[in-house]
Structure 1
Amino acid sequence: MTDNNLSGRMANLNHKKLFQEPPIRSLSPSAIVNQIVVSSRRTSMQSTSGSNSSNSRTRHTTSNGHSTIQMEPGLQALFIAEGRAAEMIATARAKRNELLRQSNRKSQAEIEAFRQERETQYRKKLHEATQLEQFQANLNIERQHLLEQMEEHVKKQRKSLVNYIIHCVIDQIPVEPHPNTKRIIF
């Protein structure tokens, strides 16, 4: 490439920037070439004069009267490579999104399994605690029942016990000390 050709290409690129819509990145290589052909039709209609020697492309007229552009092989290869790169980027993004969805599903499954495990542990501890509370409640009921029985027994035996104590005091029946008590010798 020469510097003369380079300045012509730069002018052509600046001209394209002014009159062309931004390219769509997710097009196939053939669609990109077609888009360039369509955009070149617009620029060729808008441009009034231009020399073909400074442009990197030549104009051909087809049988229906429309002009098409034939690009240099290097530029065409560049567009094809750009299209392939766009396709590769699109497939990489799709794969990444699929991997993200898979990892999200796996993590949700792990979270659900962990939650189920914790819930069963909680229910087990709650059951044990309620059993302990029930056991304590049963002990309290039994204790209350035994105290009531003792009170009834004391009420029934009160008269005979009082009579026994009075009889011991009045009749002076020697009361023998309990064998575990100390004997005091005077």
Structure 2
Amino acid sequence: MELQPADSLRIIQDIIHQRKQKYEENGFFLIFWSVLISLSGIIQFVMLALDYYPRHSWIGWAVLMPLGFLFNFGQKIREGIRNKVEKKSPDPLDWLWLVAGLGAFLGFFLPYSNWKNYEIMILAIYLPFSFVALAIALHLRVFLWIITSLFGLGLTYSVLFFHYGIALPLVSSLLACLLFLIPGIQFYFNYKKQKKCSVS
């Protein structure tokens, strides 16, 4: 039995709708990571600006990122168990986030001799996230996320042309808001609205 073009289109639209629904349900994770990253960037900026143990200003990243990873890992295990029980297949888009996350993790181990080289760290960490966010936003056809991802991509590349100095951690916080917080809030409110409509 051959699929008609209309049937193929309907199947593709169903897959996009299911994935969008998953992101709406998990908008919390985008918000969660944006808050952790923003908080780490703000802590580092304040320590640098106040000259309060500036050589240890990375401490926020060292504490909050592993905690976030452990929490996320625990949630993914629970989600995997639930998917097995409900016989759902894992979303292949999750692999994109995993690759970007591993790239970000490895970015922390790049050799840095002075503060100016931290621009390379921003590129190493945020370029993969910017491209993954843009790819998923285009796939899900979420206009706001496409716009914020493009702004995030532009801001990431801007570190090659502008010297942000001690404000670089704030650039990191702004990138977290563009790539994760704004779309996360949109997904979260869409999910709440859908739940409200299904109840009433």
What TM-score comes out, normalization by structure 2 length? 0.24
Of structures 1 and 2, the one scoring higher in RCO (CA 8 A, sep 6+) is 2
Which of 1 and 2 has greater Rg? 1
Higher helix share: 2
- Structure in which a larger fraction of residues adopt strand: 1
